[in-house]
Structure 1
Amino acid sequence: MHMNVWLKSWIGAFMALFFLMTAIGGGWFLYVTNQERNHESDYVINEVRLAVNPLLLFMEQHYENIRDQHVQATLRALSGEHDVALTYAGLSGEILFSTSPYKQGDRLNLRSSLHYDLHEATQNDGSYRITFPVLDADTDSHVANAIFHIAKERLGSDSSSAFPLTMLIVSFLLFLGSVALLLVMRTSFHSRILSPVRTLQGRAEAILRGNYEPPSHIGTQFARMDELGGLYAMMDQITLELKEQRKRRARQEKAQKELITNISHEIRTPITTVKAYMEAILEGVCSDRETMLEYVGIMRNHTDKMSRQVEDLFLHAMEELGQISVEPKERYSMEVFPPILSTLGHYARTQGIAYRESLNMPNVLLPVDAARIEQVLTNLVTNALKHTSPGDTIHISADLEENHLVFTVADTGRGIRPQDMPFLFERYYRGQSGVPGQAIATEGNGLGLSICKNIVEAHGGVISFKSREGQGTEFYFTLPLC
């Protein structure tokens, strides 16, 4: 269940319970209020009737002689005995007898002075002034009105309860239901939200400490098909990415250290050789011009090697910063490439490798940075020399294909191992050979092919290869025409 559905279900349950309790509470309040009001009115009227019943019976029997002094004395005694004040008024409103503040002989306004219900009979001081009709005992005809003044304290209290038992039971059950619902929601909220969030917090803290391995219970949380389950999946992806970045950074740092070590070694060896030949010349070991020129040629080869190493290192630094400089200019191919290929051919022949190139290069106009493309061809030829032996052949050709000039550098050397092919253009990667007697050892800094790829792609071309182990390798790259 998704979190929004879960929250909506709980909110709906609480709203339904709230409205139910509100409705029951409101109905309960109205019911009790109405019952209390009705019950109080009936109860007070009955209590007053019971209290004044002896006086009413006496007046009904002696209403014709109400002016008699003996009858009035009896009424006054009964009023005192029952602690009530009595006013006896005829149907015309004339007061015929009174033990209250009213005076005998006064007249009452029957409309405003006679109160038969409790609401109108209640006085400001909390007493009741209630009117009962005086009836003829024989004919039941209305002959007079008896107005009684009675204190509220005179009446007994109602011991009966108007509180509905059913309503009490329902309210109590609703209260228990509310408490149970809150406890269930608390448990559900803790298990579905708080506990997973705390687990995520602990996971994030572990990642900050460098621990990328998920705990054993993370799998059950990950299996949830809701927002938190998606968050766990995202956290797992982030963890894997961070773990991979850490491994990649470690490999890169290791490769950079090896690069510095390799370049230091490959530069130190030519420097040592050049220094040895220079000392030999200075000491006069070269007895003739031919030997001296041979020594100078050897020094030049080692100097060229150092120059290539330094240039590769410089391009590597520029590539790391994303600032490798490629400035293509529109030039004809026959103007740019023959001098480059001639130099590379001479260099390959000095290593004992047969060198061939196409004689019918197309003369086309294309945007090219001659210096950078020379580095590409030089790196490809140097790479071919590392995998060839004396007697092998390196062949360079150029052809037109679909508005592109395609260069191919092929050799008949040992080829590339299948396990090395996926990583050939990665920085710092150096393939393994282990075959003795090669023209150039499989040493290198692992930058050459990566730099070639960067330069060719900066020209808008592509570079690739095909190779079979033991049968040679063929690298080719394209340059778009103008």
Structure 2
Amino acid sequence: MLLHTWSTRWLKASSVILLLILLCSFGLILHQLSSRSVSGTMPTMNQVRLKVNPLLLELEQQRSRLHDPAVKERLRSAASKQNLAFTYVGLDGTILLSSTLSSEGTSVNLRSALHYSLTDALQAADEDASLQLAFPLMDGPDGRQIGNVIFTVPQSLVYAPQSVTWSIFMLGGLVLLILILMVLLIRMERSVKRKMLTPVRHLKHHAESILKGKYDEQIQYNHSDEIGELYAMLDLMRLEIMHLSRQRIRQEKAQKELITNISHDLKTPITTLKAYIEAISEGLYTDEQTLKEYIEIMHIHTDKIARLIEDLLVHALHELGQISVEPQELYSRTVFGKMLKPIAHIVRSRELTYEEPEVIPNVLIRIDPVRIEQVVDNLVSNALKHTTPGDSIRINAEVNSGQFTLTIADSGQGMRAQDMPFIFERYFRGGPSSFSTPVQEGTGLGLSICKSIIEAHGGQIHFSSKAGQGTVFQFSLPLC
């Protein structure tokens, strides 16, 4: 479950329970307030009238015989059966008849003793005391008031009965909802700890491991939620950092090897040049022919040094993204004729068979002659390095599918299968095959530079090779 959905469900459940708790609390408060209030005056006074009406009618009927002890006793007995106490007071305040014998003949203060309304009776009564309500006693024939009857009634007759069951139900529901909310909050706390806090702590541990350079520790999380997405992104970042770190280490190692190789490759021709210069300056040559041979050897080593420096320069420009290619619209026969002409002498001087193109197609192409000549020189130099006397080097030019294609093939040592995926990578120097000498010359930059130059022209370069049978390089340039 996604954390957003999970948190929304928990929030909704908590909100509903809180709302129910508030409603139960409000209902319980209202019930308590209403239970302490008096029910409607008229319905309650009617209940009192129904209670006292039989005795009141008896008093009206027997008003002329109230001096008879038997009538008095009957009235007192009727009041006792109904759990009532009464006092019959004359208009002057004299008690004419009462449930209490000792009070007869005394008088009361009519102003304070007569309460015709329920409100007045409640105000005059003490808490939990009985209420004294007065009812006028009327003369039947002419309807005039002849006295008042004061009834003493219990407050339970006036107050509406309290619903204890409802209070218990509301209070029980409130307690139950509070317990449910507590359980919900405890489960939420555990879920938050399990689904969020613990994974975040583990994530912090993994981040610290990455910071310390421990890239091999795999980050695992088995849930498809927001935390899982964060784990996945961190693991991708770990892999990317690990790749970049290893690439940086390889490049640093390759650059150190490059410096070592170039230092070695420069040391040999410089040492040779120094030796021949000293020999010439000391006059150690015997004749002019020997001097020419010395100069020729010096020229070869000078060219080698120039090529190494040019490779370094192009490599530096390539690293900075500033390798310059200035293509011009030129005819292919003119350009490649000049490039390929010196190659024949160099190849044959190595006791190799050279097969030059029969005809170079004369098509218009966009080409930087200087950079393409550098590509051709690199490819021919590679072919020379991996051939021995008796092998052959073949160059062919043709036009196919709107592309001018130049092929440089040799019948030399070929490449190892494990080296083929990496030959266009910078600093890569193929290992020795069973057909070659252990030492591989070069900086490992040549083919990488060739690829960059051809791609800058909008062309392509590819190769095929088989160990012991030779290598074929082809590059193509688009026609205008």
Q: Tell me the TM-score normalized by structure 1.
A: 0.80
Amino acid at match of 2:475: F
Contact persistence 1:76–1:99 (CA under 8 A): no
**Separation in 2, partners of 1:63, 1:21:** 65
1:230-254 per-residue CA deviation (whole Å, 9 max, x = no partner) reads: 2111211111111111111100000
Q: Among residues 460, 463, 466, which one is paired with 2:458 in the alignment?
A: 460
Aligned ranges 1:208-287 → 2 under 5 Å:
208-214=211-217, 218-219=219-220, 222-287=221-286
Contact persistence 1:134–1:142 (CA under 8 A): no
Q: Which residue of 1 aligns with 2:156?
A: none
Q: Which residue of 1 aligns with 2:135?
A: 133
Q: Which residue of 1 aligns with 2:340?
A: 341
**Separation in 2, partners of 1:146, 1:404:** 133
Q: Percent identity?
A: 43
Q: Which residue of 1 aligns with 2:206?
A: 203
CA shift, 1:166, in A, is 2.3
Q: Tell me, what secondary structure is at the counterpart of 2:420? A: helix
**Separation in 2, partners of 1:195, 1:68:** 90
- Is 1:98 aligned to residue 110 of structure 2? yes
**Separation in 2, partners of 1:341, 1:433:** 29
**How many corresponding residue pairs?**
444
**Separation in 1, partners of 2:286, 2:64:** 175
Q: Among residues 434, 437, 447, which one is paired with 2:445 in the alignment?
A: 447
Q: Which residue of 2 aligns with 1:398?
A: 397
1:284-303 per-residue CA deviation (whole Å, 9 max, x = no partner) reads: 22221211111111111111
CA shift, 1:195, in A, is 1.1
Q: Which residue of 2 aligns with 1:182?
A: 185
**Separation in 1, partners of 2:335, 2:10:** 78
CA shift, 1:138, in A, is 10
CA shift, 1:38, in A, is 4.0
1:122-166 per-residue CA deviation (whole Å, 9 max, x = no partner) reads: 669999998532356999x99578598x9xxxxxx9998957222
Amino acid at match of 1:278: I
- Which sections of structure 2, spanning at least 5 residues, go unmatched? 67-87, 153-158
Contact persistence 1:387–1:442 (CA under 8 A): no
Contact persistence 2:348–2:354 (CA under 8 A): yes
**Separation in 1, partners of 2:90, 2:2:** 94
- Which sections of structure 1, spanning at least 5 residues, go unmatched? 88-96, 103-113, 151-156
Residue 169 to residue 287, structure 1, CA distance change in 2 (3 Å): same
Q: Which residue of 2 aligns with 1:94?
A: none
Residue 313 to residue 76, structure 1, CA distance change in 2 (3 Å): farther
Q: Which residue of 1 aligns with 2:77?
A: none
Amino acid at match of 1:452: C
Q: Among residues 172, 177, 180, which one is paired with 2:175 in the alignment?
A: 172
Aligned ranges 1:281-296 → 2 under 5 Å:
281-296=280-295
Amino acid at match of 2:405: V
Q: Which residue of 2 aligns with 1:408?
A: 407
Give runs of ≥4 in structure 1 deviating > 6 Å. 39-42, 55-69, 75-79, 124-130, 136-139, 157-161
Q: Which residue of 2 aligns with 1:358?
A: 357
1:399-419 per-residue CA deviation (whole Å, 9 max, x = no partner) reads: 001111001000000111100
**Separation in 2, partners of 1:427, 1:121:** 111
Amino acid at match of 1:369: D
1:63-112 per-residue CA deviation (whole Å, 9 max, x = no partner) reads: 9998979x734489999x99xxx99xxxxxxxxx724399xxxxxxxxxx
* RMSD over equivalenced CA pairs, Å: 4.2
Q: Tell me the TM-score normalized by structure 2.
A: 0.80
Q: Which residue of 2 aligns with 1:154?
A: none
